[in-house]
Amino acid sequence: MIVGGVEDLKNAVLSKNLCVACGACANLCPYIDMVEGKAIVFESCGLRNGKCFAFCPRTYLDVASLDYAIFNTHRTDHVLGVSKMIITGRAKNPEIRAVSQYGGVVSALLSYALEIGEIDSAVLVKSENGIDPQPVIVRKRAEVMACARSKYLVCPTVSMLVEAIKHEKGNIGFVGTPCQVEAVRKMQSSELKLEASRIKFIVGLFCTWALHPLASESIKEKVKGRKILKLDVPPPPANIFIIQTQDGKLEVPLEDLRKFIMPSCNACFDMTNEFADLSVGTVEGDEGWNMIIIRTNVGERIFQKAMEGNVLEIRPPKEDNLKHLYEAVLTRKRRVISEASSGNIAYLLLNDEYKLKILREAP
């Protein structure tokens, strides 16, 4: 077992600019806080085996062990990870679709899981001004809807999840980007005590990168006081960031914002949220739909209930969409594994067989 304390966290993650700002280490420790997109250690506690090190997604990530702990099996699809079904879908309710990012599958599933008692609360992300994200605990459908749409800036949701574990009763749901979900899975599989087993439903968002909180000022300058309704990043080769305001759409060259991409995102090998119960992303060229990867028994059960409850409509994914997704993920994995092999990325624990499969796979 790999163990470490706060000094190891500083050496392996913070000093290398690899913090993902998920907040897993803060809120568990009086000496760590999140400041401007980074965990800051105010004082060293001296512990050699700390939760801050154990739960951080960038100290180490043992992919095969996590696969086994979550899925009770090893992956056969080394690109998209363990899955039971890959399907496209959208919320049946047009009111949900109207306020959501794409097909509203995440908001529809979360609110249904609350309604049927699969979970009693959930940790989501809200933004009053459309940019600056805040993690919140929700218990009702209206609160889920108020959190819909993607906020492309990092948000310390795992810190709020720790708050929910401390103060909420019953089962908890969570929506997060891949690094955030990795932190949650590390909590659940850790021997260090935390009631993480009450986290019963984890919905993972596909993700390529997230922006540092400093991007907020730059976006505000561009919208010049207009109210932001939605942000979007269309797939390549568009190379633009779309800001939908009350007065129309602004198309910002991605280059203008690239400097705000979290450095830790460059070290990420997980674009499809491989450790979630169910992962959700966009469908290229079909904006009102989501790509859904059902991964665990829990994900499958809640998805089936949502189908029986008339909450979602589905259709088979187009071969082209699957091919593009597979290629994009493979390209990312290949780059990150090459860098890991040359010693630039140390946190990823992958066996040689897995690495060779990725490096040899034809795109």
Ligand X SMILES: Cc1cc2nc3c(=O)[nH]c(=O)nc-3n(C[C@H](O)[C@H](O)[C@H](O)COP(=O)(O)OP(=O)(O)OC[C@H]3O[C@@H](n4cnc5c(N)ncnc54)[C@H](O)[C@@H]3O)c2cc1C
- Residues lying near ligand X in the complex (CB under 6 A): 100-107, 124-125, 133, 147-152, 155, 157, 175-177, 205-208, 210, 280-282, 290
Query: How far is CA 77 from its chain centroid?
Result: 20
Q: Which residues neighbour 240 within 8 Å (Cβ) at sequence distance 6 or greater? A: 233, 234, 251, 252, 253, 254
Please report how close the Cβ of residue 4 comes to ligand X at its closest, in angstroms. Answer: 26
3-state secondary structure of 296: coil
Nearer to ligand X, 81 or 103 (CB): 103
Q: Cβ distance 196 to 115 under 8 Å?
A: no
Please report how close the Cβ of residue 84 comes to ligand X at its closest, in angstroms. Answer: 19
Please report how close the Cβ of residue 210 comes to ligand X at its closest, in angstroms. Answer: 4
Q: Cβ distance 157 to 135 under 8 Å?
A: yes
CA angle 150, 279, 296 (to 5 degrees): 150
- How, if at all, do strands 61-62 and 121-126 pair? unpaired
Name the residue with tokens 């993972």.
204
Smallest CA-to-CA distance from 206 within 157, 166, 140, 152 is with 152
Nearer to ligand X, 6 or 179 (CB): 179
Name the residue with tokens 């597979």.
326
Nearer to ligand X, 4 or 282 (CB): 282
Nearer to ligand X, 6 or 265 (CB): 265
Mutual orientation of helices 178-189 and 157-167 as an angle, nearest 10°?
Answer: 40
Please report how close the Cβ of residue 362 comes to ligand X at its closest, in angstroms. Answer: 23
CA angle 185, 33, 41 (to 5 degrees): 95
Nearer to ligand X, 50 or 57 (CB): 57
DSSP annotation of 77 reads -
Query: How far is CA 152 from its chain centroid?
Result: 11
Please report how close the Cβ of residue 135 comes to ligand X at its closest, in angstroms. Answer: 8
Using CA atoms, how far apart are residues 342 and 363, in angstroms rounded to an integer? 21
Nearer to ligand X, 53 or 260 (CB): 260
Name the residue with tokens 């913090």.
19
Please report how close the Cβ of residue 66 comes to ligand X at its closest, in angstroms. Answer: 20
Name the residue with tokens 């800001």.
243
- Encoded tokens for 138: 């929700």
Please report how close the Cβ of residue 293 comes to ligand X at its closest, in angstroms. Answer: 11
Nearer to ligand X, 121 or 150 (CB): 150
Please report how close the Cβ of residue 72 comes to ligand X at its closest, in angstroms. Answer: 27
Nearest residue to ligand X by CB is: 281
Nearer to ligand X, 43 or 287 (CB): 287
